[in-house]
Structures are given as C-alpha cells and as structure tokens.
Structure 1
Amino acid sequence: MLAAPSANTVYAKLAARVPAMRLYSGLFLFAYVLMHFCNHAFGIISPEAMDEVEDLLTGPWKHPPLEQLLMLAVVTHFLLATGRLVRRRTLRLKPKEWLQTALGLLIPILLFQHILGTRVAEIFWHVDPLYERVLADIIVFRPDIGILQAISLLVVWSHGCIGIHYWLSVKSFYPRYRALLGALAVIIPTLALAGYTSAANTVLQRAAAGGNPYLENLIKDAGRTAQSFAFYTRMSEYLLVITILLALSPFVVRQVRLIADRVRQAHTLHLPGGRTVRVAPGATALEALREAKVPIASVCGGRGRCTTCRLHCRGGLSDLPAPNPVESAALRSINAPGDWRLACQIRPQADLAITPLLPANATASDGRRPGGLTGSERQVVVIFADLRDSTKLGETKMPYDVLFILNQFFAEMTEALRATGGYYAQFTGDGLMALYGLEDLNIRRAIENAIRGAAEMLARIEKLNTHLKSELPFDLRIGLGIHIGDAIVGEMGPPRHEQISAIGDSINTAARLEAKCKEHGVPLIISQDVITRGKLHIPEGTKMYRESLRGKDREVEYYALTTLPTLTARDEKQPASGAFR
C-alpha cells in the first residue's frame, strides 16, 4: 500500500508550480490586453470602426469559457503576485522589479471604474458597451476618468512588458529578437493611444455639433438608465476603497510576518573573506545577500530561471532542503555539480558557507554556461593564436593606435570563434587561446569546427588588413597552433572575475606548437593527433615532424602547413584549401 504524501511534500509541489501559474496567467492576461489595444488602434479611423472589429478582437473574450478563464487568470495572477511580495523578507529590489511591482498594484485602482462602466454594466444592466457611448462617458462627462484610462493603458502595458522581458531574458534566442520586440512594445501602445485619442476627439466634435440631443440619444440607444448610473456611482466609491486596500494589503501582511520572524532564530551565511550575513527566518539566500548589500547576479529577478545567482555550498549543504522542482530543473539545465544551489530558491535552516559563482554583472548568457565544466577533465581541441610582429607594431605606431589595432584584431578573432562554436578562454597580450568541444562530446565534430575556426581567423585577418590598410605599417599576420587532448576545464581567475579556461599538458603542447610557426615560417601547425582523429586531408607528401617541444620530454608529431587541411566528404562546409600569405 502506498503511503500518502506528507503535508510538506504537497506544499513543496504546490510552491514549485506557483512561478509557472503566475507566468501563464500573466501571459493569458497579456494576450487579452494585446487584442484590446489592437481594437483601440482602429479608433484612428472612427469609433464605428472600433465597434466593427470588436467581434473579431475582443468579442470572443466575452463568451465562456474564455471570460471565465480571464477572470480566473486575473484572480490567480493578483494573488500569486501579491503573495510573492508578502513572502519577500527584503524590499531591496532592482529598479525594474520595483517598477513592475508598483505598476501591478496600481492596475486595479486605475481599471475598476472602466470595468464597472463597461462589462459589469453590460451584464447586470444590459447597457450596450458601444465605443461611442463609453467614450462619451469618460471624455464628455468625466474627462478626469478619460485621462486615467490613458494612463492605465500605459501602466498595464509596461507591467506586462517587464514581466515578458524577465521571462525571455534567459532564453538564448532573446538577444536576436530583442530590438524587434522592443519596437513592438513601443508601436502597439502608441497606436492604441492614437486610436483612443482620435476616437475621443471625434466624439467631442459630435457632442459639440449635436449638443444635448446627441448625448441624450446616445445614452438612450445604449440603454443607460438612472438606476444603472446610480449603481455605478455607488459602487465606484466602494471599489476605490477596496482596490486601495488590496494594493496596501501585501505590505501590511508582510510587516506582520516580519514582526513574527523577530522572535525566531536567524541563521548565518558565511562568505569568502570571512564576511557573514544574517538570514531572516524564511528568507532566501538571495534576499539576505541583497539586504546586506552584497552584490549578486539575478537576471530573472529571483524566479529560478537564469541560474546567475548560483552558489557553491562549501559547508552546511546537508542542512538544506532538497531542491524543489524549479531549482532542480534549472540546475539540470546547466549540468550543475551536487554542491551547487540557487540563491533565489534556498531558504537556509542552519548556518551555510557559500561562494557566489558568477560576478554581480553576469548576463543571461553567463547563466546558460554549463556548470559541469567546473573542475572537470575532458577532451578539448585547443587553438593558440598569436599576432606576429606586435613588438615592431608598437615601435612604429603611437600607443593609442596600437590599442585600436589590437582591439580590432581581438574583435575579429572572437567573432570568428563565435561563428564556429569556439570558446574564447584566455587573453595573452597579442594572442588568445580558444577551446572547442566544451559542450559537444563528438570530438570529431569539435575538430572540424576548430578547422573552420582557423579558416575564419585567417580570412578575417585578410579582411582586417584591407580595412586598416591606411593605418598599418605592414600587413598583419598570425600563427596558429592546434592540438587535442585531455585538460582540466573550469572557472579560473581571481575572485568574482573567473572565466572558463583550461589547464593541462595538452594546453601547453598547443602553445608550444604555435611558437613553432615562426621557426617554420608557416601560419599553421597542427598535431598529428588532430589530423588523425579528425580524418583531415593534408597535401600529399607533407613532411611530418617529430621532436620534443620546449620544456617537454615526450616527442610530439606535427605538420607545418601553408594550406588548410580539408574535411572529409561527409561535411558540406569545407574550408578553402588555398595557400596562406
């Protein structure tokens, strides 16, 4: 017989679903707002045009089950959002988080009169919600409410856009479409406001031309009665008080919880360097660090999506509850080791020693960096690239000119890596180290990508020589050394400035091979291991060298090449095999 789940287990499962429920209810509401705004935009033509498209854009939302789902989404989103505010142990939030919270609490206060005068009046008093009648109500009779409606339009849209931004900010595709989405975020409310304003001006002109008879006929045709107006006036007063209390209630309940927490035992976070931070009972580690003004990344606003608040738990891990489904999914997505947790999800129940793993200015792309790379031994393809005659360049150009040229050089090299799946791992003054195969276990594919990367680097050097012809005293040249082997890959560097890099014999070998480019007078040296394992084709008769490299006892076999090796026929994207400069 199966045992019934405990209350804590049920609560944990429900709590894990809260972020998803808040997200999906918010997206459902945003879809309604978007259709409503599109309906408003037709006011640029006329109020009648707004009514004509209403059946297509907003009419379906008035019929069950959509209307019932809409009401459920309103209640669910408000309760979950305010509940999250109540659970916060600190109000030290990012400006965007504060803005989203404040706008969300203002929405009921700004919109209740509009809802009361349209949908509620339609349901209970059978008042026809024609746009012309509604506009006459809020522009002719109550222009103050007309202004509030224009403000509420911007408030609702801004609140939704901030929420969508937080949702999408952790998606890899978001940077590519951010400009387009940003443009739409401006265009759509602008058209809605333009339609609202144009239709309102049309109604004002008709009221000025037709006078009281026009307004009386409009009210009569819409079915507006003295009883419905009295109901609207009376309920407006009550709902104003209720919505204000609803907006204030999270802060009141939160303060009561904080007072109750003061009698409970607090715990301590131990940070590197000996600093300690007090954790209020029930607070997350992220809230405690923010309250103590400790810089820590949190791209998604503490929703457990971006993993930028990842921590290494150096002590006290066994006292933490197991990760909830949200945290578990996020940690699995980055292949995190067992001693990693998310600051936004853990609520310490004992003292805890932690080390933040990403700098406070980490981006969403940093959050997608695989955690399993830290301290792991794996096979990688290494490319060392070095700019030739950089000392001579410094002798013939002013320092700022050299800096400009080097910045252009590194920009082109890193773009070559980005385009071919390489990872920039180390900067060496006038050169760099790149790694291939960090996330792809297919080592042959990693070799092929590395060869494409080498081809891209050399092509970009030629392009740079053309672009900077007037600035350069001589053409830029590079030397490339490529090798494959085991290495320890992980986050390395000074505290809060770590980056993924690698150490090991294979790394040293690649560096020594690159240095051989000068001796052989070629732009490219590739180890025999890379040629064999990548099944690369080199010109027939190419000499293979076997020797001990500087500082190494074991002999290494390599080829000094003036042409790129070609990939096997199965690969359609082969780099050109023409001669280098």
Structure 2
Amino acid sequence: MIGQIRLYSGLVLFGYAALHLSNHVLLLGPLRLANDVLAAVAAFWHSPPGTVVLYGALLAHVALALWSFVRRRHLRLVRSEWLQLVLGLAILPVGITHFVANRGSAELHDVPPNYLWVLLSVGDSWLGALQQMGLALIVWIHGCIGIHAWLRLKPSYRRWLPSLFGFAVALPVLALAGTLAGARQVSELAADPERLREMLQALGITAEVSQELYRLSNLLKMIAGAILVAALAARPLRDLWERRHGVVRIRYSADRVVVVPAGPSLLEISRGAGVPHPGVCGGRGRCSTCRVRIGGPDRARLPEPTTVEAKVLARIGAPPNVRLACQIHPPAGDYHVTPLMSPSVGPSDAWRRSSGHGSERFIAVLFADIRGFTALSEGRLPFDVVFVVNRYFRAMGGAIESAGGHVDKFIGDGVMALFGIDGDPQRAAQQALDAARRMSLALKDLNDTLSADLDLRLRIGIGVHAGPAIVGEMGYGQALSLTAIGDMVNTASRLESMTKELACELVVSHDLLERAGVMLDDVPRHEIDVRGRRGKLVVYAIADAATLAAAPSRAADPAGGKTVVTPAPA
C-alpha cells in the first residue's frame, strides 16, 4: 500500500509539473497569453478539490520518500537511484522560495497567479534565475527517472521509449526557452520603474509583502533542513532499536554467511553485505528479478507473502520455497538463501518464469538440421554463409512460431523447438506436425528466393517426438533460457538424424501421431532402436513434409476415432 501511494502521488506531481512546464512554453509568445492560461489552470489547483489532490500528493510523496530513506539499510545504489535521491532531496530547499512566492502570496495576500511576479526574480539576479530554472530541471529529471523505473517493466514500453524520451527532452528545453523569453519581456517592463511599481501594486505586491514572503521562505527552509537532518539521525537510532530484536543469519553458500540485526528486507541484507543480487524495480515488488530460494531450519518462521508478493509469485509460477527478496523481512533466525537470477538481468527478464525449477510436462519436441551444409559452405565467403544461414533461421523460426511453437535454440545450422509448454498434449502434437509442414513450405520459398545465389537447393531433415520431459529455465547469466531435457528430447534428436538413413525429410514417432489423433496411410513405417530406450520405437518416414498440408480429406476412423491423413503425392 505504501508503494502504491508513493507511486500515485508521484504521478499526480509529475502531471502537475508537466502542465507547469507546458505553460512556460507559452512564454515564447505574448506574456498576456501565458498569464491567461496560467490563471485558468491555477483556478483548478487553487480550488478545494485541487488543493487536496495536489498538496495531499505532495505531503504523501515527501513523507513516504523520507520514510523510505530512513528505512533503507544501506546506500549501495546504482547511478540512476543516486541521481533520483539527490534531486529529490534538493527539491525542498530549492523549491520553497518558488512555492512561497506563488501559493503563499495568493493565500496570504490574495495575489493572483501571474508571471510578472515570478519572472522578476529571474531577471533580478543570477541566483534567482538559477533557482527558478534549476527547479524545473530538478523536478522534471527526478520525475522522469521515477516514471522510467515504473514503465520499463511494461512489455510495450520499449516501443514507446523513443517518443517518450523525445518528449522528456523537448518539454523542459522549450520551457526554459520560454522562461528566458518571458524574463526578457519582464525586464523591458522593469526598464520603467514607475510603471512596474504600479503593476505590482495593482497585483497587491508591495515591499512589505515581499519581505514577509522572504522571511516565511527562510523559515520553511530551516524547517525542511531540520527534517532532513532528523531523517539522517534516525538511521543509526533505527539500527540500535533493531538490535534488540535479535539477529538474522543468512547463509548464501558454505563460505558466505551474513549476520545482521532483524528488520531489513532480504534484498537489503544482500546488497548491504556486498552480495550481488538483482532487483530491476528497485525493491518495490513490481518485478520478480530479486526472487530467491529459501531454506534453513527457521524457514517456517517466515511471514506469509503479502498480496503484492503473492501476485508476482503466481504470475511467474514460483514454487512455495521461492520468495521475493525485496518483500520479505525475515525475523531472527537461520536461513539458507540462493538468488535465482543473474545480477546482470534487465527489465526484459522481470517476468521470466521461475528459473532453477523445472516441472515435468508432456510436450512435443522438434529438431531440424540442414543437409549437406559442409558442401554448401565450401568455397563461399564467411559473409555469404552467414547471410544464407540467417535467412534460413528466419524462415524456420517464423514457421515454428506461426504453428504455436517456441524456438528453444539454434545449434550450428540446426533448430530445436518445443510445443505444448502451456497447452494440452494433443494440441502440442498437432502444432509440431503443423510446424514441420510450415517449415517445409518455407524452405521451398527460400530456395526459390535464393536460386540465383545457391548452386544446390537447401534440404533439411526434421525429427518430431512427443512425451514427458523436464521443462524449465536452465543455463547461466545471459545464456539462461527456457528449455527441456529428458529421454524424449534425445529421441527427437535421434529421429532427426534418422532422416539421412531413411532418405526422407520428416521422421515422426507413432507416439506423437497417436497423441495428435492422426493416422498416416501409405507412409513407410519403421521400427528402430534408440539408445537408452527399451524396446523398438515405431516411426513414420515422410519424404516431403509439405504434403501433409495437401491431404484431400480428414475422416474419422470408426475403429479408433483417429483422424486419417493421407499425404498427397509430392
């Protein structure tokens, strides 16, 4: 709840800043136009609902930011977090004068919103100009960092990033240009002191009012400074208090044990001890990159996941012993902790299925390989070989994904694909057959396209099998990926190599055809031995996988309820 309040209050303040800067852009035109728009916008923010929304968001955001700073166990921050923290702390002392000059004068002396009073300080001294213009940049950059940290976990954010970045740069630049243009117009008015005095008096601004506002501004700056000092002093006092509640003993490995007072989150413990631990969202519970596997004698003492944590864990399919390190505050006890993701992960890994844990599922596996690749590559420049192979991979990958499969990996000039990771076994088998058909058709199109560049047409061998396998994310660092292991995967690879011996394009197991509810008539049937497998494996050799799509009819077999698919002549 605290995180949500902080997020939404920040969005309100960011929206207010965006409107404020947009109003400054109008200063590139007549000063009167900018004043009229400013008065119209201020009418809402100065109304009771607008005041509650704006200053409620301001107080909530500042209070929760300071509370977060007090609760933070260490200051091991990345550069963007450091920048956001420093800018956030600078907003109060830099912005208080601006706040008092505008809202204070309106509330205490009924001064209407106007640019004349604000821009006088810009042209009055370099310090005033630096404060006014620096405040806009401080607030905007602080808000943009927060917005980026929030949105970068959204799948569609990368597509909109260039446009949003352009907007984030253009708006403050135009606003600063408008501020300078407006200050120039005000300085021209200030060239006539008598006229300027009359205009200020008409607004209700006198020398006494100005001095009173500056005194109020200085008082509020002192209060803000005292609050910041109190926040700094509260950190060691918090540590003393927490030591009274026992210690947490975290064992990361046989030679890495961390002992700290109870209270901080597991992510804070790791980072405070210098243990590499990812956390893309900054420990706000918006992603799953900080997840860990927890064991140890006191694991049962851990509190149950909160609503936010439970939602994230359910989304990634995490088992019971996997928790989010940023959301769990372990009580005093002894725990064994294993981070499950590499410290180098990025936003694209935020919702990756739980790594390090597999599950047994019935899937279909497809292997494909280019036939005669050595002869194809001999005498060709490396660039040409890479060009052909990439065109081949693009065609095969598109065919697999169009059939509903998942491209596991490209191995040399070979392809491995999985089907039915999140679906039912029958659908998985049907998708694998469809993928083989699509790959054969795609290869024919590719050969026609490259006919002028290739002396020999590309040929492939495809092996397809179905059965139970262990599916999970395996690997390390950037090489971590979703894959499958097991005897049936080895069998599928063996079927692909059998296409050479059987002189065909596709070898498919009877197990897969049976699961798909498909029978192949007039197709050569073979019984083969597979290493590590007992008994014979029945397979069918199809000369041209593309002919599966040309079946003239699909009829139910009265005896077994199978679908009879008769391949057409090649």
2: CA distance between counterparts of 1:480 and 1:435?
13
1:347 alignment partner, SS class: coil
- Asked if 1:180 is matched to 2:163, the reply is yes
User: Partner of 1:249 in structure 2?
Assistant: 230
1:321 alignment partner, SS class: coil
2: CA distance between counterparts of 1:580 and 1:259?
83
User: Partner of 2:317 in structure 1?
Assistant: 335
1: CA distance between counterparts of 2:259 and 2:399?
47
**Cα distance, 1:267 vs structure 2:** 2.3
Q: 1:119 to 1:536 in 2, by over 3 A?
A: farther
User: Partner of 2:558 in structure 1?
Assistant: none
Q: 1:223 to 1:504 in 2, by over 3 A?
A: same
User: Partner of 2:199 in structure 1?
Assistant: 218
Q: 2:54 aligns with which of 70, 95, 100?
A: 70
Q: 1:566 to 1:369 in 2, by over 3 A?
A: farther
Q: 1:319 aligns with which of 281, 301, 314?
A: 301
User: Partner of 2:358 in structure 1?
Assistant: 375
Query: Cα deviations across residues 221-263 of structure 1 (Å, max 9, x unaligned)?
Result: 2221233212112112212222233334322211322344456
Query: Cα deviations across residues 552-574 of structure 1 (Å, max 9, x unaligned)?
Result: 433233352341644999xxxxx
- Asked if 1:51 is matched to 2:35, the reply is yes
2: CA distance between counterparts of 1:503 and 1:141?
73
Q: 1:444 to 1:65 in 2, by over 3 A?
A: farther
1: CA distance between counterparts of 2:18 and 2:252?
46
- Asked if 1:89 is matched to 2:73, the reply is yes
Q: 1:580 to 1:132 in 2, by over 3 A?
A: farther
Q: 1:235 aligns with which of 200, 216, 220?
A: 216
2:159 maps to amino acid: R
2:470 alignment partner, SS class: strand
- Whether the 8 Å CA contact 2:355–2:474 is kept in 1: the answer is no
User: Partner of 2:348 in structure 1?
Assistant: 365
Q: 1:403 to 1:221 in 2, by over 3 A?
A: same
2: CA distance between counterparts of 1:298 and 1:547?
52
User: Partner of 2:497 in structure 1?
Assistant: 515
- Asked if 1:145 is matched to 2:128, the reply is yes
2: CA distance between counterparts of 1:359 and 1:501?
17
- Whether the 8 Å CA contact 1:421–1:436 is kept in 2: the answer is yes
2: CA distance between counterparts of 1:461 and 1:56?
65
- Whether the 8 Å CA contact 1:117–1:232 is kept in 2: the answer is yes
- Whether the 8 Å CA contact 1:542–1:559 is kept in 2: the answer is no
- Asked if 1:289 is matched to 2:273, the reply is no
2: CA distance between counterparts of 1:278 and 1:474?
67
- Asked if 1:196 is matched to 2:179, the reply is yes
1: CA distance between counterparts of 2:357 and 2:35?
60
**Cα distance, 1:544 vs structure 2:** 4.7
2: CA distance between counterparts of 1:92 and 1:464?
53
Q: 1:155 to 1:407 in 2, by over 3 A?
A: farther
2: CA distance between counterparts of 1:121 and 1:232?
7
Q: 1:385 aligns with which of 341, 364, 368?
A: 368
1:107 maps to amino acid: I
**Cα distance, 1:420 vs structure 2:** 6.1
1:51 maps to amino acid: N
Q: 1:389 to 1:44 in 2, by over 3 A?
A: farther
User: Partner of 1:575 in structure 2?
Assistant: none
Q: 1:269 to 1:183 in 2, by over 3 A?
A: same
Q: TM-score, normalising length from structure 2? A: 0.86
- Asked if 1:355 is matched to 2:326, the reply is no
2: CA distance between counterparts of 1:277 and 1:401?
55
Identity %: 37
Q: 2:87 aligns with which of 76, 84, 103?
A: 103
Range 53-62 or range 177-186, more displaced: 53-62
Q: 1:558 to 1:160 in 2, by over 3 A?
A: farther
Q: TM-score, normalising length from structure 1? A: 0.84
- Whether the 8 Å CA contact 1:46–1:198 is kept in 2: the answer is no
1:346 alignment partner, SS class: coil
**Cα distance, 1:461 vs structure 2:** 5.9
2: CA distance between counterparts of 1:367 and 1:446?
27
- Whether the 8 Å CA contact 1:314–1:339 is kept in 2: the answer is yes
2: CA distance between counterparts of 1:72 and 1:373?
44
Query: Cα deviations across residues 490-549 of structure 1 (Å, max 9, x unaligned)?
Result: 2334689543221223322321222233334444444455556556798xx651523225
**Cα distance, 1:317 vs structure 2:** 1.9
Superposed, 1:133-172 pairs within 5 Å as: 133-135=117-119, 137-172=120-155
Q: 1:102 to 1:535 in 2, by over 3 A?
A: farther
2: CA distance between counterparts of 1:25 and 1:501?
42
Range 111-120 or range 543-552, more displaced: 543-552
Gaps of 5+ in 2: 554-566
- Whether the 8 Å CA contact 1:536–1:566 is kept in 2: the answer is no
1:371 alignment partner, SS class: coil
2: CA distance between counterparts of 1:242 and 1:556?
83
Query: Cα deviations across residues 48-107 of structure 1 (Å, max 9, x unaligned)?
Result: 222233355453222121211211111111111111111111111122122111111111
1:298 alignment partner, SS class: coil
Question: Greater Rg, structure 1 or structure 2?
Answer: 2
Range 405-414 or range 55-64, more displaced: 405-414
**Cα distance, 1:412 vs structure 2:** 6.4
- Whether the 8 Å CA contact 1:563–1:579 is kept in 2: the answer is no
1:319 maps to amino acid: R
1: CA distance between counterparts of 2:381 and 2:295?
49
2:49 maps to amino acid: P
Gaps of 5+ in 1: 1-16, 570-577
Query: Cα deviations across residues 273-299 of structure 1 (Å, max 9, x unaligned)?
Result: 532233342122211211222222111
- Whether the 8 Å CA contact 2:123–2:187 is kept in 1: the answer is yes
User: Partner of 1:299 in structure 2?
Assistant: 280
- Whether the 8 Å CA contact 1:377–1:487 is kept in 2: the answer is yes
1:255 maps to amino acid: P
Query: Cα deviations across residues 100-139 of structure 1 (Å, max 9, x unaligned)?
Result: 111111111121111100111011101122123321x222
Q: 1:507 to 1:199 in 2, by over 3 A?
A: same
2:484 alignment partner, SS class: strand
Number of matched pairs: 552
Q: 1:251 to 1:378 in 2, by over 3 A?
A: same
2: CA distance between counterparts of 1:235 and 1:28?
26
- Asked if 1:556 is matched to 2:538, the reply is yes
